[in-house]
Amino acid sequence: MQSADFIICGDYVLTMNNDLETITDGSVAIKGSIIVDVGKTDRLKQKYPDAHIMSRSNNVLLPGFINTHTHAAMVYFRGLADDLPLREWLEKHIWPAEARWLTPEFVYDSSELSCLEMLKAGITTYNDMYFFGDSTARATKALGMRAILGAGIIDFPTVAASTLDEYLHNAEYFIKNWQGDDHIFPCLAPHGAHTCGPETLRKAKQLADRLDVKLHTHLSETLWEVEEIMSKHGKRPVEYLETAGFLDERLIAAHCIHLDESEIELLAKRSVSVSHCVESNLKLASGIARVPEMINSGINVSFGTDGAASNNDQNILSEMSTAAKLHKAITHDPTVLDSKTALLMGTRRAAQALGLDNRIGSLEAGKEADLISMDLKKPHLSPIYDIYSHIVYSAMASDVECVIVGGKPLISDRRHLYADEGAILQKAAAWQSRIMAQR
């Protein structure tokens, strides 16, 4: 007799597998942290008679969303400096705030809030770039999420390090400390082509190769960034990274707005993955990435929220909806970035970008049990003709009612089962008071 610990049932199960199989009146059987079966509810109940049944009416099951670019701890700077161009926002407001406030305690507390926000929006895994990664890792583990955590590297002193050697030393220590963890996947995160010189890029790439970890960077987010790199190095940003030997399948490049055709071709040739942060890009007036051209060229494109200081939330559902509609409008083609493609970008393709597609990103036997249940008993979700369309164009983060990571239910009826949500919000309020007092 085959066994399962529990079976979670859904009116719809969106597997997001290679065939985009959709199962009505379906279920997912879970044993330990692993999915052991996916199929019709009646069949799974007969096959696993001793399994506990988790049944909700009028719901859809799908893989947890994956956020491929954010700065989780920046959630405490949400709304601190809005309606500004990126360079002014960054250099006159965010970097000074980080210099004043960043400590391991600040990063732990803010990462807790960030993880709670993401989980409640159905995000089960995120790809981060910041400092004091050990604090972010501990907060992520405490909330039950998965994360790829990038050790930040930049060509000037910060509260985290003063020299390139110190940044690299700290990064190597962090990576070795967390490698092998089931939920935390450390990586290297040089900030960007405009803030990291050739030596920094080369040494970061060498370290990533030696430790066999991912690379995560910003790329071509603004026109002034492109112009600055061309002025300094005589090359466009992608070509500059190419000459530094930085481009390959390890790299996740965020934004990638101001690319020409040759740069798109080169990113595709080198198997670089791109994180499309449409709402942050719109809010900062940075521009609109050429996502349809990237996808058509063979680049794997997924969604990132960017940090809550620039977005101002961490909601992949919202990114999907905005991106799908925006690219239809600017291409004058309503078939561009359809709802199934958008949902793939938020799940399986995101897992592929992070090198985790053998573990997460779809609901299939043998994969980790990372899934969410969304409540369909809502006026804005009635009636239903196309469930993919409903999720991308109609659903809200507040429709996520249940979140499971590694077979462990974390969110039930929109409440975290283990974290003290009240305490997390109280800490946020206390930090807000301190920050406001120093402004």
Q: What is the mean pLDDT of residues 114-137?
A: 98
Q: Is 245 in the same domain as 384?
A: no
What are the C-alpha distances in Å from 19 to residues 14, 16, 357, 373?
11, 7, 15, 21
Given this model, what pLDDT does residue 421 score?
98
- Let me know whether 105 and 128 are in one domain: yes
Mean pLDDT taken over the chain: 97
If asked whether residues 60 and 70 sit together in one domain, one would say no
Please report whether residue 269 resides in a domain.
yes
Q: What is the CATH number of the domain that holds 408?
A: 2.30.40.10
75: its two tokens: 């959630």
Average pLDDT over residues 420-424: 98
Q: Which residues constitute the domain of residue 339?
A: 65-353
Is residue 2 pLDDT above 90, yes or no? no
pLDDT at 87: 86
CA dihedral 265, 267, 270, 275 (to 10 degrees): -140
Token pair recorded at residue 54: 């988790």
Verify that 246 and 129 share a domain, yes or no: yes
The residue-averaged pLDDT of 34-59 equals 96
Do 344 and 242 lie in one domain? The reply is yes
Do 214 and 112 share a structural domain?
yes
Clarify whether residues 265 and 169 are in a common domain: yes
In this prediction, residue 86 carries a pLDDT of: 83
Return the closest-CA partner of residue 425 out of 98, 10, 75: 75
Choosing from 313, 331, 353, the residue where a domain stops is: 353
Residue 375 lies inside a defined structural domain of this protein:
yes
Per residue in 283-324, pLDDT (tens digit) is 999 999 999 999 999 999 999 999 999 999 999 999 999 999
In a domain, 377, yes or no: yes
- Confidence (pTM): 0.97
Question: Which domain-ending residue is among 353, 382, 398?
Answer: 353
Count of residues for the chain?
Answer: 439
**Model confidence at 439: pLDDT above 80:** no
Do residues 316 and 388 share a domain? no
* 325, 335: one domain: yes
Residue 378 lies in a domain: yes
Tokens of 203: 């040494």
**DSSP letters of 261-306?**
HHHHHHHHHTT-EEEE-HHHHHHTT-----HHHHHHHT--EEE---
Indicate the residue type of 305. T
In this structure, are 44 and 118 located in the same domain? no
| Residue 357 DSSP code | T
Quote the number of domains for the chain: 2
Alpha-carbon gap, residue 249 to 259, rounded angstroms = 18
pLDDT of residue 1: 62
Mean pLDDT score, 2-13: 96
In the numeric block, which tokens belong to residue 89?
């926002």
CATH of the domain at 81: 3.20.20.140
